Amino acid sequence: MRCLFTASLAAAGIAGTLAHRVGDGPVRHRKSLGFGPVHKHAYYRSSPYQVVTNAFTRRSDDADPFEVARSFIEDILGNQLSESSSYKIRKDSYTDKATGITHVYVRQIINGLEVSDGDMNINIKDGMVLSYGNSFFTGPAPSHFMQQSLDDDIRHPHQEFCDGLTDEIELNYNSFLATQPDQVVMGDSAPTPKVDKALKHLTHVHHSNCRFQQLPTDMAVQTAERDIDLRSALLQFMVAATPNDHVVNDILGNFEHYLSKMVEYMQGNHFAPSDEPAYVMVDNVPDAVNPVKATLAYHQVPGKDDSVHLSLVWKFEVEMQDNWYEAAVSAIAPHRIVSVVDWASDAPVPIPEPEKTATYNVFAFGINDPEEGKRTIEKESFDSLASPVGWHSLPYANDPSFRGVKLTTKEFYRNTTTTWGNNVFAQENWEGQNAYVSNYRPDAGPGKAFDYPYKPKETDKGDALEEAQKYINATVAQLFYTTNIIHDLYYRYGFDEVSGNFQQYNFGRGGEGNDAVIANAQDGSGYNNANFMTPPDGQNGRMRMYLWNTALPYRDGDFEAGIVIHELSHGLSTRLTGGPLNSGCLPFGESGGMGEGWGDFLATTIRSTANYSDYAMGSWAANRVQGIRNYPYSLNETINPSTYKTLDKPGYFGVHAVGEVWAQMLWVVSQGLIEKHGFTDTLFPPAPNADGTVPEGDFYRPKSGKKPLVPKHGNSLSVQLVLNAMKLQPCRPGFFEARDAIILADQQLTGGENFCTLWKGFSSKGLGPDANVVLRTPWGGGVRTDDFEVPLACDSY
């Protein structure tokens, strides 16, 4: 679960008790599993020099990038390739229209099965490999997948993860006690916030991931007779994943019953070869809200001597009420859970010329929250490249409210007068459930004037929820407006159909459709937070915005643009990193942390103005001037002292704390670009010409030849580099890979003119060329060294 605020205790703690005291009804306790082995052998090469040594023949500029990729892969893999060991180029690979870079995603195949964490991403332009990442398994292929047994040499990744966490908690607890006078143990005085936060976070991670029951061995053995039994492996996962104790007890007490109730049926292409491996669907899975998709695969697991082994696993995609998991569970009993990623995060038809008729009474784009400005009447200012049919139109065929309904109309597009369109379905969700189609949303009628009152009164706590519900029309309209604008903005910077954006219909431009954002306002499943679930391209993203009971009247997260932008940016970074069909590339540790950081950075950049200012995240909703992070984003090192090494501190094990360090680095780097290139008041590129070409306006530099358009100003250039780099970086990047991808993105876009500006920014935060980390833990720990130097070439800079 990617949340804005899960692990930060201050508000979460206060709010938890408040919520109960005022009788707002039960708030569900959310749990999120997430762990997996560290891939020590994975690497990313972004320096062309190293790539050139691998490039064996001269290539012409117009070579087919997929042919280039194939020769490159085959050169890297060399004699590793055999009948049983191969690869496939994934179908979500694409060529970026703006940069001309082809992003090729590759999956390793052994004995006909995918290695679910054997990934390559190869970035190619003009016949040259610009950079690539590789986490392929390098050992010998097992002779046949059925022969695999539980090997004593293979470590138990889950057990190790939990043992490591337990040690870490103990260590933290002891050092915490050592700094505290006796009365702390009695609970009389507040512990120092940092250590307290670390301990609480680690304990929370431990509780979610480690405190579940292993299926009794005799149960597992019975079912192991079915060789690579799917259902008991799945039940083992459900026992671990369900937040409901009664479900756990019921499964353990009625194991055979649950096993016999689950129904398996084959899906996939049985007759003709297809890109997708055949998979099994499993129905009647306890606590899953939809049938579970299961595929047999390999997963890489570290051995005792640090070597890497292959483990035969069932890969499950499990959609639950509050989580959406991709899990790998050992296929051989007793079933061990090898890795878990929670996807949740705390023929073209002529396009009609739509009229921009809708209006909304909202806090306009750029106003972060109600303290920063007043509501005004804003037009449906959709971007005609990003939203060709506007915000209130979608094909009948892609409209979930017509699913299973026989259509009588001959029209292709349906026009709506509600907050329901091709990019976003916005509605209330007071029940906090997963259904959304028939939830309430405002209907503004044919005039489409979404003008609703927002005048919350201060009430007793007991009436605060009801008071907030009175302005549901206004808050849903706001959420619809902000989400659509962000859809259009990110589109213009390259988050389009082929790269995995969120749209019901893709206008024949590639990528998978039927995945608009389901945006729930005032979601009843929580308070004082927000979250976004990102399944792979072709399945709807789900954003849940909460009320904040941090003040009276309650504050509504839907009105704080920074929170909405942060959440939508999870969808962006997850779909762009490692390819649109791989949602497991920002799972935890540094990569999970950066998943949070990009959201903070983009939200802060969007609200910033020509006059520099520091900004804190979430101040309004949380009702705290300093916001919900440890520090505001600032150029002043007294105000924000974060450096790379800050990540070693015990308070920094959670993804949000890691993310704030990354966002601070990006903030400093972007200010360097602004100093050099100036500032544009609008991040929106000019509207396209009638023929679809984009004019330069004052936004882009004068166009030169076939080169991609380059944003002229520092703030727009930063956003462009950050998005381009997400596409270049490997699956499961760390800070180094993400930094290198930004530097490569600049090399590609501007010819590297900002090389030293970028390095200067990163180095000032300790992320210089010789920064280093050893003893990494999966939850983000490690021992880091800051490097404040810049590369030699920039010495005199």
Answer yes or no: is 207 a known binding residue: no
Q: Is 484 in the site for ligand NAG (CB under 6 A)?
A: no
For ligand NAG, the binding residue among 64, 163, 355, 431 (CB under 6 A) is 355
Nearer to ligand NAG, 74 or 443 (CB): 443
**Shortest CB 414 distance to ligand NAG, Å:** 6
Closest CA to 502 of 533, 544, 523, 545: 533
For residues 536 and 583, is the Cβ–Cβ distance under 8 A? Answer: yes
| Residue count of the chain | 797
Cβ count near 773 (within 10 Å): 18
Give the residue with the Cβ less far from ligand NAG, 446 or 702.
Answer: 446
703 contacts ligand NAG (rule: CB under 6 A): no
Could you say which DSSP state residue 394 is in? E
Q: Which of 512, 567, 660, 737 is catalytic?
A: 567
For position 413 contacting ligand NAG by CB under 6 A, the verdict is: yes
Q: Of residues 167, 443, 458, 698, which one binds ligand NAG by CB under 6 A?
A: 443
Q: Which range of residues in 127-135, 406-414, 659-667, 704-712 is near ligand NAG by CB under 6 A?
A: 406-414
Q: Which two tokens stand for residue 625?
A: 């001037």
Segment contacting ligand NAG by CB under 6 A, of 269-277, 333-341, 607-615, 645-653? 607-615
Measured from the CB of residue 636, what is the shortest distance to ligand NAG in angstroms? 4
Report the residue from 81, 177, 610, 783 that binds ligand NAG according to the rule CB under 6 A: 610
Among 140, 609, 612, 797, binds ligand NAG (CB under 6 A): 609
Q: Is 566 flagged in the annotation as binding? A: yes
**Using the rule CB under 6 A, which residue among 354, 500, 592, 627 binds ligand NAG?**
354
Of 136 and 471, CB closest to ligand NAG: 471
Amino acid, single-letter form, for residue 64: D
Helix then strand then coil, in percent of the chain rounded to 5, is 35, 20, 45
Q: Is 467 exposed, middle or buried (0-12, 13-18, 19+ CB in 10 A)?
A: middle
The Cα 557–Cα 553 span in angstroms is: 13
Scanning 116-124, 351-359, 644-652, 709-717 for contacts with ligand NAG by CB under 6 A, the matching segment is: 351-359
The Cα 2–Cα 571 span in angstroms is: 10
Name which position in 130, 358, 472, 722 contacts ligand NAG (CB under 6 A). 472
**Contact criterion met (CB below 8 Å) for 118 and 138:** no
Based on the shown chain and the rule CB under 6 A, indicate whether residue 384 belongs to the binding site for ligand NAG. Answer: no
* 408 contributes a contact to ligand NAG by CB under 6 A: no
Q: What is the largest CA-CA distance in the chain?
A: 77
In the annotation, is 567 catalytic? Answer: yes
Give me the least distance between CB of 358 and ligand NAG, in Å please.
11
What residues contact residue 706 under an 8 Å CB cut-off, 6+ apart? Answer: 100
CB of 645 vs ligand NAG, minimal distance in Å? 20
Binding to ligand NAG, residues 123-182 (CB under 6 A): none
Q: Is 20 annotated as a binding residue?
A: no
CB of 365 to ligand NAG, least distance (A): 15
Q: Provide the 3-class DSSP secondary structure of residue 46.
A: coil
Q: CB of 299 within 8 A of CB of 328?
A: yes
The residue from 34, 142, 286, 442 that contacts ligand NAG (CB under 6 A) is 442
Question: Which one, of 383, 371, 375, 364, lies nearest residue 451 by Cα?
Answer: 375
Q: How far is the CB of 455 from ligand NAG (least distance, A)?
A: 11
Nearer to ligand NAG, 477 or 603 (CB): 477
The amino acid present at 183, given as its one-letter code, is Q
Q: How far is the CB of 28 from ligand NAG (least distance, A)?
A: 24
Consecutive H or E run containing 171 = helix 157-178
What interhelical angle do 589-607 and 655-677 show, nearest 10?
A: 40
Report the alpha-carbon distance of residue 581 to residue 78 in Å, rounded.
27
Considering only 46, 116, 323, 473, the residue that binds ligand NAG (CB under 6 A) is 473
- Using an 8 Å Cβ cutoff, are 573 and 596 in contact? no
Alpha-carbon distance of 256 to 495, in angstroms, equals 47
Identity at 393, one-letter amino acid code: S
Which residues does the annotation place in the binding site? 346, 566, 570, 596
Residues at the interface with ligand NAG (CB under 6 A): 352, 354-355, 393, 411, 413-415, 442-443, 470, 472-473, 609-611, 636, 638-639
Annotated active-site positions, please?
Answer: 567
